[in-house]
Amino acid sequence: MKQFFITFFANLAALLFVLGGPLLLFIILIIASFSISSPTKHTILIGRDSILVFDLSLNVTDAPEHATSTNSLSAALSGNQNRSVTLHHLTTALEHAATDKRIQALFLEGSFQPADFGTGYACLKELRTAILTFKKAGKPVYAYMEAPTTRDYYVMSTASKIYMNPYGEMEVPGLASVKMYYTGLLQKYGIDVQVTRVGKYKSAVEPFILNKMSDADREETQKLLKDLWGEFVTTVSQSRNIDAGAFQQLVDTEGYILPESAKTAGLVDKLSYFGDVLNDLGAVAPSSDFATIPLPFKQVAMGDYINATQPSSWHNTDKVVAVLYLEGEIVDGDGELTNIGGDRFAAELRRLRKDDKVKTVVLRVNSPGGSAFASEVIQNEIIALKAKKPVIVSMGNYAASGGYWVSTYSDRIFAEPNTLTGSIGVFGLFMNVQKLGNSFGITWDSAKTGNYADFETISRPKTPEELQIAQARVDDLYAKFLQKVSTSRKIPIESLELIAQGRVWSGEEALRLKLVDEIGGLDRAISYAATRAKLGTELNKDYRVEEYPQQLSFADTLTQLLSNEQQPTSKMKADPLTEQYLKMKNDLKALQGFNDPLGMYARMPLGWEIK
């Protein structure tokens, strides 16, 4: 009945919103009252010898949903049914399931739905590790595939037995990064772009000044893809006990691998339809004595298992390991829920520093960078926090440029082999619309009291003298960035200059170059932080984990909902034209975050979407 009312009022609210109805706010409050007054959890019965079912058809994020979106209210009004789950909740649930006598096996099916900064290869590396730990406990892992992507197979290759639909295919052609360039479009409409930058590989500005990859960008991108793909091939080959060279040859020969070829190569174990897989699992875990309406096999869904196994037993201690999620673009000011506002996160860090219950802080960084000014605001608070309690960084899919800036002064940095990090460089980007305006008969004129009083105008190109000033500012900031990394990481400037230059490195290479300290995921970073703060061992924990930013109040959520203009993202795979539109939209959205007060940015290149 509750669901009926929520659906009814959500649909009615959407209709009144379109019509401009004055009752919209009242109806939203009604929806909220149902959500708040009714319990969100239901009793979950987990039978003995159950199979834990993990449907991969979701987006695996770092930050909890309530920290990055208006979730329930927004979804109710938009009809957006996209699902997401946090990596930490997944790995914690799998860790618990490994020793849970009620769980005898794990079943993987479905296909990931990546969005924004979620479901990257570093994130999936941590998920793989958790599944392998479950498997090492002596519990089998089963997987069913229809048309698995590279991401899907990266995780499913951990399975003890892999089923594949006889009419499916493996979409594992290798990794690629296809970047979009806007120079021709900007020139066509009379928009001129000028840049200042430091670093041979600082290519974030190139989509706006070139029409193809520069030699340096191509070199960097090819090396990164080679590192990430090498890790994929090695890891998958080890999991499936096959020859890495033979696997690579199959990929190069077929690209999209047909079922028979996949079985012959040892990539899958059995070609079966889904119904046949259910019958096999039914033999493993019969369900006839378990439910009123028999299920194909005795099972519990991953989402239900996560809700049923929250570590409430840790809540009897007042010692806290705080995990602060820094996910998204780094922008000046408070920012929005989907990015890292320098002022907002500085305030979070101050609160954690003053909270006596918080004994140590783990910063989970998943960011390509952004505003250099905002990065410095955050870093300054991290240094103050570190003076009082240990600060550990866990790098996610991205921790580059500004993302590395905020990480470098921590006590220890963890990264996965396929984390993208480094990109120590700075750039400035200036656009003007003089040609565009002139084409419509618009002209500009000015009076000023100083040579550079109208420096910020977009009505004309920057003069050579102005560009010299901008370049001097970029050079100065780059020197400061180098000095910060040199001091915090104890790397001589001369050595650092050779590995900086705006170049992005894989986590494996970053470890070799001493930009990070250890290969490992979020769970490893939390365990290390607890040990560093003397909060007990892994087997005898005397702490609880709390995640920040914490959940918004209803009033704040309502404000965000009414002020945001977020569009629902389709769960269906977009057609090629729509994919290009969404890619352009994401690139241009990144430009909206270019709000550094000095116009200088520490950001990795745009368009780093690896397929």
Which strand (E) or helix (H) includes residue 358?
A: strand 358-367
- Tell me the chain's radius of gyration from C-alpha atoms: 26
User: For 469-528, what is each residue's pLDDT tens digit?
Assistant: 999 999 999 999 999 999 999 999 999 999 999 999 999 999 999 999 999 999 999 999
**Number of domains present in the structure of the chain:** 1
Task: Give pTM, 2 decimals.
Answer: 0.83
Would you say 371 and 340 are in contact if contact means Cβ atoms under 8 Å apart? no
Question: Considering the domain boundaries, does residue 1 fall inside one?
Answer: yes
CA quadruple 212, 215, 218, 222: dihedral, nearest 10: 160
The verdict on residue 481 lying in a domain is no
pLDDT of res. 4: 47
Cα distances (angstroms) measured from residue 164 to each of 26, 108, 145, 498, 595: 50, 12, 5, 47, 48
pLDDT of residue 587: 64
Domain encompassing residue 33: 1-40
**Residues whose CB falls within 8 Å of the CB of residue 496, separated by 6 or more in sequence, listed in order:** 424, 482, 485, 486, 489
Query: Do 121 and 610 meet the contact criterion of CB atoms below 8 Å apart?
Result: yes
Q: How far is it, in rounded angstroms, from Cα 24 to Cα 27?
A: 5
Higher pLDDT, 44 or 201: 201
- Higher pLDDT pick, 53 / 39: 53
For the chain, the farthest-separated pair of C-alpha atoms sits apart, in whole angstroms, at 87
Contacts of 413 (CB under 8 A, 6+ apart): 392, 393, 395, 407, 515, 516, 517, 518
Q: For tokens 């009076």, name the residue.
A: 447
Is residue 16's pLDDT more than 50? no
Instruction: Give the mean pLDDT of 123-142.
Output: 97
In the residue annotation, 401 being an active-site residue is answered as yes
Q: Decide if 31 is inside a domain.
A: yes
CA distance 585 to 605: 15
Average pLDDT over residues 302-329: 84
- Confidence class of residue 325 from pLDDT cuts 50, 70 and 90? very high
Could you tell me which residues come within 8 angstroms of residue 510 by beta carbon, excluding any fewer than 6 positions away?
415, 419, 421, 422, 516
Asked whether residue 80 is domain-assigned, the answer is no
DSSP 131-174: HHHHHHTT--EEEEESS-BHHHHHHHTT-SEEEE-TT--EE---
Residue 20 has pLDDT above 60, yes or no: no
Question: In the chain, what percentage of residues exceed pLDDT 90?
Answer: 68
Classify residue 196: in a domain, yes or no: no
- Of the candidates 422, 454, 104, 448, the one whose C-alpha atom is nearest the C-alpha of residue 284 is 104
Query: Which residues partner with 163 through β-bridges?
Result: 144, 270
Residues of the chain by 3-state class (helix, strand, coil), percent to 5: 45, 20, 40
Which region holds residue 190: left if phi is over 0, alpha if psi is between -120 and 50, else beta?
A: left
Residues sharing a CB contact under 8 Å with residue 566, sequence separation 6 or more, in sequence order: 69, 70, 74, 338
| Under 8 Å between Cβ of 399 and 502 | no
Q: Which of 401, 410, 486, 506 is catalytic?
A: 401
Cα distances (angstroms) measured from residue 363 to each of 76, 251, 284, 378, 544: 31, 37, 42, 11, 16
Catalytic residue from among 135, 139, 202, 319:
202
With CA atoms as reference, report the closest residue to 335 among 376, 372, 371: 371
Q: Please report the pLDDT score of residue 550 as a whole number.
A: 82
| 10 found inside a domain | yes
State the pLDDT at residue 73: 46
Distances (CA, A) of 600 to 135, 375, 402, 457: 48, 11, 11, 16
Answer whether 430's CB lies under 8 Å from 193's CB.
yes
Each residue's pLDDT tens digit, 270-282: 999 999 999 999 9
Mean pLDDT for the chain overall: 85
| Pairing status of strand 426-432 against strand 192-198 | antiparallel
Determine whether 202 is an active site residue.
Answer: yes
305 lies in some domain: no
Is 269 in contact with 276 (CB distance < 8 Å)?
no
pLDDT value, residue 569? 36
The DSSP bridge partners found for residue 320 are 358, 544
Quick one: CA torsion of 379, 426, 400, 152, rounded to 10 degrees?
150
Share of the chain above pLDDT 70, in %: 78
Query: What residues pair up with 61 in beta bridges, in sequence order?
Result: 86
d(CA 223, CA 483): 26
Give the model's confidence band at 374: pLDDT under 50 very low, under 70 low, under 90 confident, else very high: very high
What's the whole-number mean pLDDT along residues 381-404?
97
Other residues' Cβ atoms within 10 Å of the Cβ of residue 167: 11
CA separation for the pair 474, 545 (Å, rounded): 40
Establish if 30 belongs to a structural domain: yes
